[in-house]
Amino acid sequence: MPRLLLVEDEVVNRDLFRRRLERKGYVVVTAEDGLRAVALTRSEMPDLVLMDLGLPDIDGWEATRRIKADPATAAVPVVVLSAHATTDARNKAFAAGCEEFETKPVNWEALFKKIEEALARARERAAARAAPPADEIDFGGTAGPDPMAVTAVLRKGQRTLAGDARPDAGDVCVVQPKRILVVEDNEPNRVLLCRRLNGRGFLTTEAADGRRALELVAKTRFDLVLCDVMMPGVDGYEVLRAMKADPDLRAIPVIMVSARDDTAGVVQCIEMGAEDYLQKPYDPVLLHARVNACLDKRRLRDQEVAYLRGVADLTRAAEHVEKGTFDPGLLAEVAARGDALGTLARVFAKMAHEVQGRERQLRADVQKLATATGDRREVAPKPGDTLILPRPPK
């Protein structure tokens, strides 16, 4: 049965939670504070940690960060179980590396479900690490497996994930996948990152240096860029600076990646316009969460830009109506929207069409009236004309 480490400083709660978990069939080890939790995670290697946040010594956020920062325990999933229910507490917990969050008083059915889901994901990651020796890559630059051999294995797996296992077209709804540019000078690291992203359904393009990255973003539309900081030639800072200076590229979110634990570097990247910063070696779950968060921000930003563009199109259409030069094609894109703005555009186009029709009819009526008036003027004598009357008979 799975072994759980329960971290809870309240004696009554700790005993109650332990007995409830044991009745469910789990083997439970307990810790009463954050330092003890970090030590037991390393010595006992539990399958999962249930972490309280309000702990003595170090709190649950710091304990989670230390567990995730230790390569020996980084793979152990952490589920937060706490009375801290604020959004800030949740965000700090997920930023520290936890996978799930459950508040007190405990909804046991929901907690058991989250535990099982976290354990299942951990087993999947363990199986993926065991299959090829891909995750044995040394991100710090020390001696490791032959890079060429590792890259060959990774590329084989990447092709399988990206295209060989195709579902039946009749069973799926075609959705355009997001395209991510991976900029990394170390080829095994680059291929490993692409493989992980491909496994999540993303399309990836590789760039081995900053110069190539700038060439690719200039001619291909990417939804996200993952860029290493330290590269020969054009480094990650220069890539980020160039993208944010270009009006056509500055909207593309960029996540900077580095093996350096450098707070000043993180701050510099964020100030230059990076959406986020990941430190190597990164946890796959955290990588996926950060990528999804950036793509969600990009989607909302694109929606806002499209909405404002639709409002601008409506404003221009009103100006054309006023000038009498309205063309229904001006609102074709906005009218195709399924929201209130699209409804407004369709109603506006219909009313503008009716106004144009009435104006055309009015001009035709005026023309007819002018023609009829002109005919009568030709027949009637004009002031000053000399009238020649016929002579009377003699």
Name the phi and psi angles at 42, rounded to 5.
-75, -40
SS (H, E, C) the chain: CCEEEEECCCHHHHHHHHHHHHHCCCEEEEECCHHHHHHHHHHHCCCEEEECCCCCCCCHHHHHHHHHHCCCCCCCCEEEEECCCCHHHHHHHHHHCCCEEEECCCCHHHHHHHHHHHHHHHHHHHHHHHCCHHHHCCCCCCCCCCHHHHHHHHHHHHHHHHHHCCCCHHHCCCCCCCEEEEECCCHHHHHHHHHHHHHCCCEEEEECCHHHHHHHHHHCCCCEEEEECCCCCCCHHHHHHHHHHCCCCCCCCEEEEECCCCHHHHHHHHHHCCCEEEECCCCHHHHHHHHHHHHHHHHHHHHHHHHHHHHHHHHHHHHHHHHCCCCHHHHHHHHCCCCHHHHHHHHHHHHHHHHHHHHHHHHHHHHHHHHHHHHHHHHCCCCCCCCCCCCCCC
| 112 and 46 in a common domain | yes
| 149 and 277 in a common domain | yes
| 90 and 62 in a common domain | yes
Rounded to whole angstroms, the Cα distance separating 4 from 16 reads 15
User: For the domain that residue 33 is a member of, what is the CATH number?
Assistant: 3.40.50.2300
Task: Provide the domain count of the chain.
Answer: 3
| 230 and 347 in a common domain | no
Highest-confidence segment of 193-197, 206-210, 283-287, 323-327: 206-210
**378 occurs within a structural domain:** no
Give yes or no for residue 234 having a pLDDT over 70. yes
**98 occurs within a structural domain:** yes
**389 occurs within a structural domain:** no
Give yes or no for residue 185 having a pLDDT over 50. yes
Highest-confidence segment of 100-104, 145-149, 294-298, 349-353: 100-104
| 60 and 39 in a common domain | yes
pLDDT class of 374 with cuts at 50, 70, 90: low
Lowest mean pLDDT across 6-20, 102-116, 289-303? 289-303
* Domain that residue 272 falls in: 143-165+174-282
| 180 and 278 in a common domain | yes
**pLDDT value at residue 388:** 56
Say which residue, 390 or 21, is predicted with more confidence.
21
| 210 and 110 in a common domain | no
Highest-confidence segment of 55-64, 167-176, 277-286: 55-64
Give yes or no for residue 134 having a pLDDT over 50. no
pTM for this prediction: 0.46
pLDDT class of 136 with cuts at 50, 70, 90: very low
Say which residue, 326 or 166, is predicted with more confidence.
326
| 187 and 311 in a common domain | no
Nearest to 226, CA basis, from 276, 187, 176, 192: 276
| 277 and 147 in a common domain | yes
Q: What is the mean pLDDT of residues 37-46?
A: 94
The number of beta carbons lying within 10 Å of the beta carbon of residue 57 is 14
**379 occurs within a structural domain:** no
Nearest to 115, CA basis, from 81, 84, 87: 81
| 70 and 184 in a common domain | no
Of 72, 105, 130, the last residue of a domain is 130
Q: State the chain's mean pLDDT as an integer.
A: 81
pLDDT class of 133 with cuts at 50, 70, 90: very low
**290 occurs within a structural domain:** no
For residue range 62-92, list pLDDT tens digits in order: 999 999 988 889 999 999 998 877 887 888 8
Give yes or no for residue 3 having a pLDDT over 60. yes
**314 occurs within a structural domain:** yes
| 314 and 206 in a common domain | no
**390 occurs within a structural domain:** no
**40 occurs within a structural domain:** yes
Q: What percent of the chain has pLDDT over 90?
A: 31
The number of beta carbons lying within 10 Å of the beta carbon of residue 163 is 9
Say which residue, 376 or 51, is predicted with more confidence.
51
| 11 and 126 in a common domain | yes
